């Protein structure tokens, strides 16, 4: 893999490495799209904070948005992102099991 590819991969992983962004992706799972107003209400965060996180995900190409009147609707463009997150969860479960087995 070239140095440029490592940078691109790193940028993608950084874009999903914030807890709020992970929560946003979780909210969007199995949804066609959600309005930014629904997202910040469900997360109980300020709209400006949520909008900054949505921008990071959008700039990375993970999300796209469209306007519907006054609403801005977001959707996940690459559902493969959930496969990545699922693999991370599996790794964390294995690490936890290994840690627990060392304690016993």
What is this structure's pTM? 0.89
Q: Beta partners for 63?
A: 76
Q: Beta partners for 64?
A: 75
- Residue spans per domain, the chain: 3-78
| pLDDT confidence of residue 100 | 85
Asked if residues 74 and 54 have their Cβ atoms less than 8 Å apart, the reply is: yes
| pLDDT confidence of residue 102 | 80
Structure tokens at 27: 């909210």
The candidate with the shortest Cα–Cα distance to 37, out of 28, 29, 46, is 46
CATH fold of the domain at 3-78: Arc Repressor Mutant, subunit A (1.10.10)
Structure tokens at 71: 């609403």
Per-residue pLDDT tens, the chain, 104 aa: give them: 889 999 999 999 999 999 999 999 999 999 999 999 999 999 999 999 999 999 999 999 999 999 999 999 999 999 999 999 999 999 999 999 998 888 77
């Amino acid at each position: 893999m070239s140095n440029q590819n490592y940078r691109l991969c790193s940028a993608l992983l950084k874009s999903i490495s914030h807890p709020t962004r992970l929560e946003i992706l979780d909210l969007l799972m199995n949804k066609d799209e959600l309005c930014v107003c629904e997202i910040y209400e469900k997360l109980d965060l300020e709209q400006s904070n949520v909008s900054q996180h949505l921008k990071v995900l959008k700039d990375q190409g993970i999300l796209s948005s469209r306007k519907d009147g006054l609403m801005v609707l977001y959707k996940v463009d690459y559902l493969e992102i959930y496969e990545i997150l699922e693999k991370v969860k599996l790794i964390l479960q294995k690490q936890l099991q290994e840690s627990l087995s060392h304690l016993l």
